[in-house]
Every structure is written in C-alpha cells, then in structure tokens.
Amino acid sequence: MESSNAPNAGIGKEEAPKLQIYPTPNTGVSPFWRDKYEREAKKYWDLFYKRHQDRFFKDRHYLDKEWGRYFSGAGRKDVLEVGCGAGNTIFPLIAAYPDVFVYACDFSPRAVNLVMTHKDFTETRVSTFVCDLISDDLSRQISPSSIDIVTMVFVLSAVSPEKMSLVLQNIKKVLKPTGYVLFRDYAIGDLAQERLTGKDQKISENFYVRGDGTRAFYFSNDFLTSLFKENGFDVEELGLCCKQVENRARELVMNRRWVQAVFCSSGGATSSSEEASVRVDIFNQAIIEPDVAANTLKEPMNDSEVDMSEGVAFEMFGLSSFEDNEMIEVNLRDRSFKIEVLSKEYQHTCRSTGLMLWESAHLMAAVLARNPTIVAGKKVLELGCGCGGICSMVAAGSADLVVATDGDSIALDLLAQNVTANLKPPFLAKLITKRLEWGNRDHIEAIKEENNEGFEVILGTDVSYIPEAILPLFATAKELTASSNKSLREDQQPAFILCHIFRQVDEPSMLSAATQCGFRLVDKWPSKNSASPSESIISSWFSENGHEVYLPSPALNIMYFQVE
C-alpha cells in the first residue's frame, strides 16, 4: 500500500492489500518455536494420543497385500515396529501371520499404553517399550542383529531431517544383515504440505509443524534414497503413491501422496541391484499422471490403503472439526454465555488467532453489558471478532443491527455455532456474521450491502498488534463508518472503539495511522489527565459501580476515535 497523508489513504478504487491480524505468510516458524518443538516433541505426541486415542489412523490391513512376501515363510519372523502409535500396524500383522513376533516402541508413553490395553494384545506375540529413537539405544531392548523386518509407517517424518540418520543407525544395530526396512511416509505435494505452507508453519525445507505442535516432513524419492544409502541401506523397492480422498458431506477432495519403499542392508539383499532398479522405474512410471495413479499401481487401490481415518484427518489439513474444543463460560451482569473455543493446549501452536477468547473482548463485552446505551438503537460492526463474538452478542441485545466479522473462515464457522447456541429470537435475527479481510474491496462491498448507511459504532478488540495491519484496519473502519450528525452530542456521534493491550504496535503508531485515515482520538482509558468522569466518555462507563466491571488485565487500554 502506498503511504499517504490523505484522509482516505488505504481505501481507493484499487483493492488494498488483504491483510489479517496475524503475520505475513512465508516467514516460517521462529527459532524460539523451532527449538521448543524439537525439545518438547515427546510432549506434543503424547498430547496427540491423549486427544485421538486409537481413532486417528486406520488399521493397516494393506500390509499383507503390499508386503506379504516379507512376512511369510517358514519359521518365526521377528518384527520391530518403530513409532508404533496405537498399534495400527501391530494387530493386523499378528492376526495375519501366526509366526510373527512384534517388538513395538514409541516415545509417547500414552501410545505404548494404548497398545498394551488393546483387546488383542498378548505378551506372547508383542513386546512393548518406550523409546526415543534418536537418543535411546535399541540394542539395550533388543538383541543386536536379531530383527528380520523393521516397519516404519508414518514415523520418520516426525523426526527433524538433520537427525534422521541417527534413527537409521539405531535401527541398523538390531536389523539382521539379511533383514528389510518396510517404509511408508508422506510425500512432497501432499495436500497437508500445501495447507501447512499456506498457513506459514514451515520449520525448514519440506518440514512443518501442525496446529497441535506435532511435526511432519515430506519426502522426495531422491532425498529418501540418499538418506538410506548414506546410512548403509540399498533400495529394494521405491514408489510414489497418489490417492484422492473425498468427504462428500463437506464437498472436499484431499489429494494424498505418500512414498512407499523397501530397503535392505548394503550387501545383504537377496535381490540384485538391477532388479531393484527395475522396480523403481515401474513404480515411478505409474505416478506420472496423478489423476490415474491410484489405478495404475500394482492393482487398483481401495479406501483401506489410505492410513488416516477421514474424519479426524481433516484436522491435519487445517480444517478444524471442533470436536475436541473446550467450552468456557462468560458471566456478564445478568447474562451468561457458553463459548466454544480451541483447547488451551493447542492455542499457542494454532495459526488462527481467532479461535480463542482474548482478554480485551471479555472487558469490552462487560462494558457493553453495563452500558447498553453505547449501542442502543444503533448499527454496530465488530472487526476481527474471532470465534467468541461476545461483544457482538451483547450488543445484539439493544442494537438495531450487529454485523460480526473476521477474515478467518474457520473462526467464522465456530462463531456461527456460538451465536446460534447463545442467542434466541428476536436477538438472533439482528446479528449477522460476515467475512471481512481489511482492505478487501469485495468484502467491504458485501458489508455495505447489509447496511449501506454506515455503522454508528465499530468495535475492535485485540486487533491492533501487527504493524502491517494497522493502516488497512483504520482505512476499512473509515470506509464503513456512518456520517457524522452535527445535531448529536459528541458521545452520540459515530465512533470507532478499540480495546487492546499494546504489543508490537505502540500508541504513537496507532495515532499516526488513525490520522492518515481521517480519524481523531477523542478519548482514551486509562487516562492521566484529571478530567472528571462526566467529562470523559470512557470513564463514564466505569463511574457507577465500576468495580463490578470485569477487568482481566491492568494492561488493557481503550481508545475512542471519531471521524475528523
């Protein structure tokens, strides 16, 4: 956006930049958070299994079809399942192969416990233990060179790429010279990678953090081949698999891509390198056209070959299902609101700032509940309301019209649920939810279609902490503010009210942006001047029984703007 001192800077005939109140994409995860995700990886996966139990991955019944020849044959086969999770590989294996004994490990104690409490668990077929493959020596739990097969199914992707070699060297200690590693994991181009890239959750090349703090690496065939060769393994089979998963109820199609491979110790393979090379070529030819890849691999693929259960898989793709959110209760004078928000354990890693209830919204809602005349009979717009929308819901009790907006479609979906759950007719009919990215001309025009006369009260709570978003914020508010009415008192003129804690944006910067967009600061709270409450608009909101107004933080501020 070009800078200008004109009153209407930021809103013109050309569409202004579409900015949100979270940082500009593609900056990646900060060094602080990269270190935290690495240091606390075990904790995040333990929380993952606390949340999902055994519902996330499907049982892998395709193992027999894809890799049956490695498990069959005379005599006992000792299998090591690393990153065993809830046992989705283990139990199909012991059911299909009576001579298979499985050693199962995971660095999440909760995951290991899920295996041990499974109805089909038996110590005569399965031995479980907690193990961090990076730092714990597998040979202390399993005899060296004793394992026939190591299964690695969606596990190496959870490891930092610079530490993957440590995992392979650890595995090699217990694998027989003639043993095999059976591998399946995420591939470059998977829909989950595309969504994580768009949400600015990149840690390093092809390595991302999800909203719940767990991490995922996306493999290319070249990277995977080089990684295993550098650690003493040869390629036996290698292929890229593609599959479309459709959720008809939500009209969504997910393009899943994963790498499937078999590796053997260098010099220990039973098949020649020439034979392995042919297999690589055949698999790669099968996926040249992703649209038909699902039907051109060894045989037509069926739904069971996609590991993730469809319903919960949407969370990994950034599409919240709200099934594990938490309910908080907000009591405001004689009213109580039950608001569904993102669970606290996931809030700090979630990209959307709109899936939680901020302190400023709680304070402003309390002010409106105590002072309904602020919005009584007026048209009210809330900017960046998030999923809570409590200011808008309180305002709907006395305003003529309330439009609650946010730029995050996921937050808006949850907001709609919260509004429906808390408001009854006729108040429910007075509150409209709309998407609004500040500076987006199409969105602004859609708001004007709801009310072309402008809004007499515009609210914003904790929407002013990203420097790049301040000008579009004020410019959008100016575009949607009603015209002044000289016959009204100052406290009845159209106003833009911001409640916040000063973070990255200080007061002088906000005042500068306000001036550029045609606003002037009429009042602020708390104020150092000695004006009596009757001379201060905001102080009058607290003057009577002010101690009853909820004040969640002494750092909160309120700024009251009007158009010049």
Provide the Cα torsion 15, 20, 21, 24; round to 10°: -100
- Low-confidence residues in the chain, pLDDT < 70: 1-27, 198-199, 245-254, 267-306, 308-324, 344-352, 528-535, 543-552
> In b/e form, how buried is each residue of 71-96, taking b as 16+ CB within 10 angstroms?
beeeeebbbbbbbbbbbbbbbbbbee
Nearest to 389 by CA among 337, 436, 351, 345: 337
Q: Where are the alpha helices (DSSP H) in 231-358?
A: 273-286, 290-293, 310-316, 344-347
Cα–Cα distances in Å, from 261 out to 78, 97, 153, 282, 487?
19, 21, 10, 13, 77
User: What's residue 241's pLDDT?
Assistant: 86
Task: Please write the tens of the pLDDT for every residue from 215-252.
Answer: 999 999 999 999 999 999 999 999 988 877 665 544 55
- For residue 165, the tally of other CB atoms under 10 A from its CB is 15
User: Exposed (0-12), middle (13-18) or buried (19+): which is 559, by Cβ within 10 Å?
Assistant: buried
Strand pairing report for 326-332 and 335-341: antiparallel
User: What's residue 273's pLDDT?
Assistant: 40
Please give the domain boundaries of the chain with CATH numbers for all domains. 31-316 (3.40.50.150), 326-563 (3.40.50.150)
User: What's residue 64's pLDDT?
Assistant: 85
